[in-house]
Amino acid sequence: MNPLEMIRRLWGHRELILQLIGRDFAQSYRNTYLGALWSLLNPLLMLLVYTFIFSGILKARWDHTDPSMPMSSFALILFAGLIPFSVFSGVMHRAPQLIANSPNYVKKVIFPLEILPVVAVGSALVDSLIEIGILGIGLALFLGVVSPTVVLLPLAYLPLIFLCLGLGWFLASLGVYVRDTAQGVQVVTRMLFFLTPVFYKTDAVPEALRPIWRLNPLTEVVESFRRVLIWNETLDWERWLAVTVVSGVILLLGYAWFMKTKVGFADVI
């Protein structure tokens, strides 16, 4: 539970973590003709599809009370909300099988197994940064402006990283002992997609239910991304701090759980 000890251990393995993130990114596009170019094409094609469907066909508007807002903005706002949720869901889907699918690492006594969830989070962050670059191009083309508050994006990322690491460590360990964890996580992640304001505003939630929606830390994460990327607003500092503290506690608990339970991995795998 000592955060300084956790940071010291992870920092000591920083070179190995970066090497594994690079290898993980390269393996995603191995044996393909376009290679890493797919990391650009995938988010670009998705943004074009969102723009065509929601703006061209459905004529959807994020705020019907503001007719001056371009219809293309709906796809951009949706895309901005999908970026952090995709990081979260990607890590959650991978986490339960990280240790179970790496028996060679488990049998190596000197290998720091705790870095595997860090690698998964790092790989997801690399993909998200590429998507943010595509979003920036879309904002410049369709809205003619890029939000100056994008400089606050690292702070918007902070609670997301804490949350993904904490839950990643917990699920990676639990997945070794309970093999149904992966299936359960997929169900919960699908539910969270609809309980997180990705394709709707939080204001659209009935007022009596909004406090419940606010209990979901992803709600503030998604809204923070939209504030700094789309609305040219600063973070809601009070809510951001609360979510960051809660995510930090989850981070420490997840790490402590992993380090406590990893001694039995070799006996199970």
DSSP character string of 57-118: IS---S-TT-TTS-THHHHHHHHHHHHHHHHHHHHHHHHHHHTTT-HHHHH-TTS-TTHHHH
CA angle 10, 40, 123 (to 5 degrees): 15
The overall longest dimension of the chain from CA atoms, in Å, is 63
96 within some domain? yes
Report pTM: 0.90
68 within some domain? yes
The answer to whether 37 and 25 are in contact (CB under 8 A) is no
CA distances from 109 to 12, 63, 104, 112, 258 (A): 17, 56, 10, 8, 16
Spatial separation of the C-alpha atoms in residues 112 and 258, rounded to whole Å: 11
186 within some domain? yes
Residue with token string 């339960």: 96
What's the pLDDT at 62?
Answer: 67
pLDDT less than 70: residues of the chain:
1, 33-36, 55-72, 109
Distance of CA 72 to the CA centre of its chain: 24
| Domain total of the chain | 1
74 within some domain? yes
Angle between helices 237-261 and 3-12 (to 10 degrees): 70
44 within some domain? yes
Residue range of the domain that includes 81: 3-264
Sequence-separated (6 or more) residues with CB below 8 Å from residue 186: 93
Q: Which residues of 25-41 are buried (b: 16+ CB within 10 A; e: fewer)?
A: beeeeeeeeeeeeebee
Helices (H) and strands (E) in the chain, counts: 12, 0
19 within some domain? yes
269 within some domain? no
What's the pLDDT at 155?
Answer: 97
The answer to whether 125 and 87 are in contact (CB under 8 A) is yes
